[in-house]
Amino acid sequence: MAAEDLRISADVRRCVHMVAAHEVRGSFPVDLVDGANCEQIIYNGMCRSRRCI
């Protein structure tokens, strides 16, 4: 999948993406979102400490 395939469509009214700021990802990097219809929230800590597992 190419990077341009990861863009959020303009047909989406609101996209909220939450990521852990201190996540250790050896296998794959975190993907960030960008766009007028996107909001990105970065939380301190790791995913496990935020109970997203």
| Pair 35, 12: CB distance under 8 Å | no
Cα Rg, the chain, nearest whole Å: 13
* pLDDT on residue 14: 95
* Dist. CA 27–CA 41, nearest whole Å: 22
Q: pLDDT of 17-45, one tens digit each?
A: 888 888 777 777 777 888 889 998 988 87
From the list 36, 31, 32, 28, the residue with the least C-alpha distance to 10 is 36
Please state the domain extents for the chain. Answer: 3-50
Q: What is the pLDDT of residue 4?
A: 52
* pLDDT score of 1 more than 50: no
pTM above 0.75, yes or no: no
The answer to whether residue 53 scores a pLDDT higher than 60 is no
Q: What is the mean pLDDT of residues 9-17?
A: 91
Helix (H, G, I), strand (E, B) or coil at 6: helix
